[in-house]
Amino acid sequence: MNDVKACVIGLGSMGRNHARVLSDLPGVTLVGVADPSEQSRKAYRRPEGVQVFEDYREMLDVLRPDYAVVATPTELHCEIACNVVVRKIHVLVEKPMAMCVDEVARMIRAAAECCVAIMCGHVERFNPAVQEVRRLVSERALGPIFQLHARRLSPFPPRISNVGVILDLATHDIDAMHFVTGSRVVRAYAETSRNAHTSCEDMLSGLLRFDSGVVGVLDVSWLSPKKLRELWVVGEGGMLVADYLAQEVSWFKNGRVNDTWTPATNFSGAVEGDVIKTYIAKKEPLRAEHEAFVSALVSGLPPPVSGHDALAAVRVALDLVKSGLDHTIASEVRTT
């Protein structure tokens, strides 16, 4: 595969961002975009050489791209992705991958049967701050991990009408926690409320238990005038705080931990220690996501975010939605 040809299906805010990144990505040529809305097509500032279509199927048949980005409303992901892969075209699907577990499973099967790659756009995995936290956790810089706490707050987006804050936003943090810990959620509980949204929850206070024993806390809402994206990781060696927006990581060290004293059985509490702010080279996560997907396609390696990763995030999100509605604890051993 030499120059990779890509196209974008859906010209909403995320679709336009994908198109912007792809139009300036070395080794990739954006050949087409598609959207059924005439208003969206006219509003798109088309770079030279990019064709605009009303029907995405016509675009796929005429241009025969190497991969397509599906950035449409979530309820359309499954049908469109299956129409892409049946044409032997690789596909990157925006998160959440689908509205239900069965649709995600169907997309995974379809891609496997057609021998093409499918990847979900869990873009926070490619945020340099999250990558640094994962590196430090993987290297056991903190020793045993006790808790992860995600805070994702923002004003209510008028464009959102078909899903609540759990599927639209909390899936970012569920996947980031899976990514950082390397473990899966086995139990979930949620308190939710609906305040500004017309049909779905717009606030989540959630608790997760991972198969590693780590506890996850989710504080996610569309009710804050201030935009906030943070992940705290607490362990024996202190606390890491990742700021997604600033792409910064600070390590608040536990003053009682030293190189000669590490067993968790001796842990007796925490006191203030040194604070280390790690320098991180900043990079747009969406660009890094596409670079990683293209690299996988060129090398023939699996995509860095698999369909099963997306399936795990959707399962937990739907468990949280259900828990918030009926006030029960969802408990299930995850196998994917």
Is pTM beyond 0.85 here? Answer: yes
Q: What pLDDT is stored for residue 278 in this prediction?
A: 86
What are the structure tokens assigned to 158, written together? Answer: 């008028």
CB 316 within 8 A of CB 174: yes
Q: What pLDDT is stored for residue 330 in this prediction?
A: 82
Q: What pLDDT is stored for residue 161 in this prediction?
A: 67
Q: What pLDDT is stored for residue 196 in this prediction?
A: 85
What are the structure tokens assigned to 159, written together? Answer: 């464009």
What are the structure tokens assigned to 6, written together? Answer: 């890509």
Contacts (Cβ under 8 Å, ≥6 apart) of 47: 23, 30
Between vectors from CA 192 to CA 190 and to CA 193, what angle results, nearest 5°?
Answer: 170
Q: What pLDDT is stored for residue 268 in this prediction?
A: 58
**Which stretches in the chain have pLDDT values below 70?**
1-2, 160-161, 256-270, 332-336
Orientation of helix 101-113 relative to helix 77-85, angle to 10°: 10
Q: What pLDDT is stored for residue 199 in this prediction?
A: 87
CB 312 within 8 A of CB 304: no
Between vectors from CA 71 to CA 67 and to CA 73, what angle results, nearest 5°?
Answer: 140
What are the structure tokens assigned to 147, written together? Answer: 């808790």
H/E segment holding residue 322: helix 307-326
d(CA 293, CA 301): 9
Query: Phi, psi at residue 208, to the nearest 5°?
Result: -125, 145
Q: What pLDDT is stored for residue 157 in this prediction?
A: 83
